[in-house]
């Protein structure tokens, strides 16, 4: 409380010891980044004190960042704060010039937060979605002044979103690596507020079904990193990841491109190579065809209890999940997340239009159907008898005519692709 009531400059003079500040000078102890008070919280996130101009001499810190694959730095300070610590601040308002980072292709973000204070859950989610985005490409470094209070809070928030842990678990994980992190009750309270926000907005499944896939993607865009929105486009993330995981059962390498309707009526083109040794058994096929919805619900509930949310879904689907559970999850997700996507006549008409290369503008639901069909063209044909009735349930609530039409379409499409490949060879 005393710290919060003390004016900013006075805090710096009274508590930080001015030019002899422990955190604003060269640090000679053990640290993640040599000569800078810093700690690896996870293998991808380093918490650190604010760098000083001396750390940039001869590109010292730049070289260390690049050696450790640190692609982004998150500065949580307000411009001008702690101006009496160490050598003070530069004209940038900080103890170093961020341009040095950006000129060396290290991304720099400044999300100013008040010292020794918390922030709103909405502000935290803004910060950590950007962090989650950067973590998909490399490692990140986070600092405030000393790298404990605000830094610890933001890293804990990121762990909550990405790993699905509770506020207590997140704080414990951070403090275990860097003592005295997350320093005030208000910061802990902010993490609990964030936890409530994540539970409301980062659900894989909404509380009630959506009328369209675009409404679902709009719902998840509140918490998904921008790179996710670009990658998944108009296909809901659980459908995208579910089928990518399914393809990886059969192939070590799976690449996806999206073309124009002229190039490919289905738009999506999977290039799958390096077949695995995975074999679909009769028992697997039998289980897929029996009560997949109930099995999918059980799998979903178990994963949710273990912290699964829309942001960290990859961790739960892409790590050697049983194929029966995987298909069951997709089945449960689609049939729970949406009302009937379309009707039988529209799907049958759409299949015919693909056959004749007469597909026009794709409708809301047809993006997902195109994605599913394109993925299934690469899956062993022996699965079609079990999977096509499920696809019919997903889009038309189970019309057997649709299931039969999809089955025949897949077989014909595979034959044509095999013929094209043979000609190209």
**How many residues belong to the chain?**
425
Distance of CA 160 to the CA centre of its chain: 12
Strands 139-143 and 45-48: parallel
Q: How far apart are CA 196 and CA 148, in angstroms?
A: 23
Q: Name the token pair of 241.
A: 């990841």
Q: Name the token pair of 6.
A: 């003390």
382 is an active site residue:
no
Q: How far apart are CA 311 and CA 204, in angstroms?
A: 9
- 46 neighbors 38 (Cβ within 8 angstroms): yes
- 147 neighbors 52 (Cβ within 8 angstroms): no
Residue keyed to tokens 């009328």: 211
CA distances from 163 to 183, 304, 313, 378, 410 (A): 22, 11, 9, 31, 38
Tell me the residue ranges of DSSP E strands in 342-388: none
Number of H helices, E strands in the chain: 19, 7
Residue keyed to tokens 């690469």: 378
Distance of CA 368 to the CA centre of its chain: 20
Write down the catalytic residue from 85, 144, 158, 303: 144
Q: How far apart are CA 130 and CA 111, in angstroms?
A: 11
Residue 338: DSSP 8-state:
B
Q: Name the token pair of 10.
A: 């006075």
Q: DSSP letters of 50-83?
A: PP-GGGGGGGHHHHHHHHTTEEEEEE-PPTTTTT
Residue 5 exposure: Cα atoms within 13 Å on the Cβ side: 2
Q: How far apart are CA 352 and CA 356, in angstroms?
A: 6
Provide the phi-psi class of 398: left if phi over 0, else alpha when psi is between -120 and 50, else beta.
left
Torsion sign across C-alpha atoms 194, 197, 199, 203? negative
Q: How far apart are CA 294 and CA 299, in angstroms?
A: 9
Q: Which are the catalytic amino acids?
A: 144
């Amino acid at each position: 409380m005393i710290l919060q009531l003390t004016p900013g400059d006075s805090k710096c003079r009274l508590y930080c010891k001015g030019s002899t500040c422990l955190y604003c000078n060269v640090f000679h102890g053990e640290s993640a980044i040599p000569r800078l008070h810093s700690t690896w919280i996870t293998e991808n996130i380093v918490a650190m004190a604010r760098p000083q101009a001396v750390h940039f001499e001869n590109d010292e810190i730049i070289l260390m960042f690049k050696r450790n694959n640190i692609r982004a730095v998150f500065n949580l300070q307000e411009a001008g704060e702690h101006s009496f610590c160490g050598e003070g601040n530069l004209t940038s308002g900080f103890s170093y010039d961020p341009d040095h980072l950006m000129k060396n292709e290290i991304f720099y973000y400044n999300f100013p937060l008040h010292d020794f204070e918390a922030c709103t859950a909405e502000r935290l989610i803004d910060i950590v979605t950007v962090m989650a985005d950067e973590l998909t490409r490399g490692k990140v470094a986070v600092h405030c002044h000393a790298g404990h209070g605000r830094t610890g809070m933001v890293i804990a928030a990121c762990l909550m979103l990405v790993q699905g842990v509770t506020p207590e678990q997140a704080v414990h994980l951070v403090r275990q690596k860097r003592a005295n992190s997350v320093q005030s009750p208000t910061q802990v309270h902010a993490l609990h507020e964030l936890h409530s926000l994540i539970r409301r907005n980062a659900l894989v499944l909404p509380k009630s079904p959506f009328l369209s896939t675009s409404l679902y993607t709009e719902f998840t865009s509140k918490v998904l990193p921008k790179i996710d929105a670009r990658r998944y486009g108009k296909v809901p993330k659980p459908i995208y990841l579910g089928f990518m995981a399914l393809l990886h059962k059969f192939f070590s390498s799976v690449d996806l491109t999206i073309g124009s309707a002229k190039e490919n009526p289905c738009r999506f083109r999977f290039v799958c190579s390096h077949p695995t040794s995975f074999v679909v058994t009769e028992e697997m096929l039998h289980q897929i065809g029996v009560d997949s919805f109930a099995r999918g619900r059980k799998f979903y509930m178990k994963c949710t209890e273990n912290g699964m949310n829309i942001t960290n879904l990859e961790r739960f689907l892409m790590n050697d999940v049983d194929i029966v559970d995987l298909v069951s999850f997709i089945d449960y997700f689609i049939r729970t997340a949406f009302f009937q996507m379309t009707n039988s006549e529209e799907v049958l008409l759409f299949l015919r239009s693909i056959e004749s290369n007469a597909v026009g503008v794709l409708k809301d639901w047809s993006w997902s159907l195109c994605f599913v069909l394109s993925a299934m063209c690469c899956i062993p044909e022996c699965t079609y008898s079990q999977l096509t009735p499920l696809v019919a349930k997903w889009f038309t609530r189970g019309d057997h005519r649709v299931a039969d039409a999809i089955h025949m379409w897949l077989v014909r499409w595979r034959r044509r692709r095999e013929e094209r490949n043979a000609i190209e060879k």
